[in-house]
Structure 1
């Protein structure tokens, strides 16, 4: 079996304790609060993208699903990918499960659940053609579905902003 460098890095990144030890001097994590701030800042960066800012009907289906997938990855693993190059541009040691603060962890668990539901409903809507790709953009045959998806997207951002505010970080 031959592993590429990306596969080696992904495997090593699945050990948060190893990452903490290795990156200790690089990211200046001195305590649990510092680590929480690094994780939360990385997740906040993942939400600073058009998928959470522009109206849904202005999104292209592939880019929107890629943005949701990348955001889920950042929330779960702490890895933030560049949209163009697909390389990791920021790495926190772990995702929401590694947060020390229990309230922050619970808040991001909700965000993760909303993201998972949002992505599943967009994928299902594309399969059953309630969401179509028209002239490069999302087209909703069911306005109620569009409203529901927009509400889920807003809940993600609202719940994240509650966590960020409680941690003393800027909201997205």
Structure 2
């Protein structure tokens, strides 16, 4: 048999075996049962006061200083981007916590923190200080509304 024909047959055979093996290995992966619960996360620190003190408070304090005046350079904008993103993602973390009562309102406040923090982050990425100030104020207003409802009005934040 001609060498070229043997090479072509060998290549086709190798390709066919590869396709069969790939198909068999992908079809052998079993789908996750629909009734099996996925690990959706859980708080590392369930005490809300501790969580706020060590996650939100230092971030808010840095952001407050950074938002006091329009950023003069990339590093100042980076501080705003960093802290606003941490606070926005913190809104997601709040959803993991159990407020004990008024879950619907708790979740709504958490989503609003995420939303306003995310908008602040995007404004900082665009270096739009006017929009950043607006979203910063919106985020703090929501934080304070949540503190009013869930912390008996304590821990009100100032811009």
**Matching of residue 72 in structure 1 with residue 85 in structure 2:** yes
With over 3 angstroms needed to count, the CA separation of the structure-2 counterparts of 1:74 and 1:60, relative to structure 1, is same
State the secondary structure of the residue aligned to 1:98: coil
Deviation at 1:75, TM superposition (A): 5.0
Unaligned runs of at least 5 residues, structure 2 = 1-38
Higher RCO structure (Cα 8 Å, ≥6 apart): 1
1:37 aligns with 2:49: yes
Equivalent of 1:95, from 93, 96, 119? 93
Question: CA-to-partner distance for each residue in 1:74-122, whole Å, 9 max, x for gaps?
Answer: 55359xxxxxxxxxxxxxxx82121223323321211211111122122
| Matched residue count | 111
Partner of 1:153: 136
Give the conservation status (yes or no) of the 8 Å contact 2:87–2:114.
Answer: no
Cα deviation, 1:30-58, whole Å, max 9, x if unaligned, reads xxxxx333333332332122x32443315
1:128-167 → structure 2 map (5 Å cutoff) = 145-167=128-150
Q: Partners in 2 of 1:96 and 1:74 — Cα distance?
A: 10
Could you state the TM-score of these two structures normalised by the residue count of structure 2? 0.53
Task: Structure 1: give runs of 5+ residues left out of the alignment.
Answer: 1-13, 21-26, 30-34, 79-93, 126-144
Shift in CA distance, 77/146, structure 1 to aligned 2, threshold 3 Å: closer
Structure 1 residue 71: deviation in Å?
A: 4.4
Determine which structure has the larger helix proportion and give its number. 2
Runs (4+) off by over 6 Å: none
Give the 3 Å change call, closer, same or farther, for CA 113–16 of structure 1 in structure 2: same
Higher strand share goes to which structure?
1
Q: Equivalent residue for 2:5?
A: none
Structure 2 CA distance for aligned equivalents of residues 171 and 59 of structure 1: 28
CA-CA distance at 1:59 after TM superposition = 5.3
CA RMSD of aligned residues (A): 3.1
